Amino acid sequence: MTIINQEDFISSIADALQYISYYHPLDYIQALGEAYQREQSPAARDAIAQILTNSRMSALGHRPICQDTGIVVAFVKVGMAVRWDATISVSDMVNEGVRRAYLNPDNVLRASVVADPAGARRNTRDNTPAVIHYEIVPGDKVDITLAAKGGGSENKSKFAILNPSDSIVDWVLKTVPDMGAGWCPPGILGIGLGGTAEKAMLLAKEALMEPVDIHELQARGPNSRVEELRLELFDKVNALGIGAQGLGGLTTVLDVKIRDYPTHAASLPVAMIPNCAATRHVHFTLDGSGPALLPPPSLDAWPKVEWQPAADVRRVDLDRVSREEVDSWKPGETLLLSGKLLTGRDAAHKRIADMFARGEGLPPGVDFTNRFIYYVGPVEPVRDEVVGPAGPTTATRMDKFTDMMLEKTGLIGMIGKAERGEAAIESIRRHKAVYLMAVGGAAYLVAKAVKSARVIAFADLGMEAIYEFVVQDMPVTVAVDSGGTSVHNTGPAEWRGKIGKIPVLRG
């Protein structure tokens, strides 16, 4: 009889979450390296280089791959012959492991979970509780798969109940472009087919935990309808030309994973959940002999890619930048930013809007005149850091506040990830402002450009407070210029046309 000790279980959860915060799964990172070698789009190739460089830096420094260290999802399979040496429930043990991992002083992880989601949305401060799925199975072991799922990709989850005669491929090809780039491609699509609504979503999430093996499937050929669908969707989704970070390119997905389940004769439930450039998951088994041991991967397995800015890149002094200079920037152009910028995301924007609605001004010490705002919620610093990993959050969530900020604060530019909506683009054009894109999935690399950081307003919001950053050579791309041209519209359209003329598009 296997006896699982409470402390062994808790420490295994904590260690595994630390592990996946800074180690990409090797199958993912090697597939991304192969995509880098194939990529022909300069913008997409630069973005992939930043992600690969960031991944190696995180593995070396034991710091998070992404500033969004995710909401924890645990799949726990408990053998029917297992006994527990524990004084608390299994769910409480999972959550204690989460708490220890996220509050680890050597590698603090960002607490992103909020309670009272329809009300006060108060941060729980330790990233608990996890989302836990249980299965009772034959045997005498406990099998655990852990994932840390970022909000940018989770927010792009899609679900539909199709008619049994409808095309799954058509639905996916219609839906993926509507997801935009906030899920930080290139990544993986998990698809669940059948069952009921909630079963299809669970199948899609479980599919994301499977190894990246599309190249093996291509080599041997399909043995089932699901494998045929995987191959067809892999080719056709990449042919959309969305590319890395939505900039246009050859690789949008590194794999398409599908799980299915019997369903009602009148139904065809279909769920789709993407995994992003910060794909994080790990599997381990407890057999009663002690905590799980997760050997560190060899850094020799990482692709030999080191991002460097181009020699002719434009350098921008944020402390002296003028609207005339901003007007000269071209869509798709790479910039290196130096100087002071302010940060702010959802909660800060909402609070500013409420202050304006009450007839109040900005908080003392906050002045956006001729300044840039960076949409970021950084990880807490450790050791000698001035800030922890500080990659961009999805800019689309701030679209509803864009006109207010440009109209009332003197702001001239914004920095985030992914595309902007039509109304935000029109506001940028009307105010002759600009939107710059930083690479999602390069948070540790971006943080190295931050030379000082201090909270200047809304300290109670934690990672959503307004900071002042002083940056040096922070890499960004002009995503929407002052004339309203968006590279997230022009890039994929250009590469969709080019891909149609490329004979072979394979992994």
- Does the CA dihedral 317-477-370-364 come out positive or negative? negative
Residues 363 and 266 in one domain: no
Q: Tell me if 507 is assigned to some domain.
A: no
Residues 273 and 388 in one domain: no
Residues 421 and 385 in one domain: yes
For the stretch 326-376, pLDDT in tens is 999 999 999 999 999 999 999 999 999 999 999 999 999 999 999 999 999
Residues 275 and 375 in one domain: no
Q: Tell me if 152 is assigned to some domain.
A: yes
Q: What is the CATH number of the domain that holds 395?
A: 3.20.130.10
Q: Tell me if 77 is assigned to some domain.
A: yes
CA–CA dist 377, 127 (Å, integer): 14
Q: 3-state SS string over 191-255?
A: EEEECCHHHHHHHHHHHCCCCCCHHHHHHHCCCCHHHHHHHHHHHHHHCCCCCHHHCCCCCCEEE
* End-of-domain residue from the set 233, 268, 286: 286
pLDDT of residue 500: 80
pLDDT of residue 503: 53
Q: Which domain holds residue 274?
A: 2-286
CA–CA dist 153, 291 (Å, integer): 31
414 token code pair: 């914004």
Q: Tell me if 307 is assigned to some domain.
A: no
* End-of-domain residue from the set 286, 304, 337: 286
Residues 347 and 447 in one domain: yes
Residues 260 and 345 in one domain: no
Give how many domains the chain has, as a whole number. Answer: 2
Residues 245 and 375 in one domain: no
Residues 258 and 400 in one domain: no
Q: Tell me if 505 is assigned to some domain.
A: no
Q: Tell me if 131 is assigned to some domain.
A: yes
pLDDT of residue 502: 59
Cβ neighbours, 10 Å, residue 305? 18
Residues 341 and 465 in one domain: yes
* Mean pLDDT in consecutive groups of 10 residues from the start of the chain, 507 residues: 96 98 97 97 96 98 96 98 98 98 97 96 96 98 98 97 98 97 97 98 98 97 98 97 97 98 98 96 98 96 94 95 96 97 97 97 96 96 95 97 98 98 98 98 96 97 95 98 98 94 53
Q: Tell me if 85 is assigned to some domain.
A: yes
pLDDT of residue 368: 98
Pair 149, 208: CB distance under 8 Å: no
Residues 370 and 450 in one domain: yes
Residues 279 and 320 in one domain: no
Residues 232 and 346 in one domain: no
Q: Tell me if 501 is assigned to some domain.
A: no
| Phi, psi values for residue 136, rounded to 5° | -95, 120
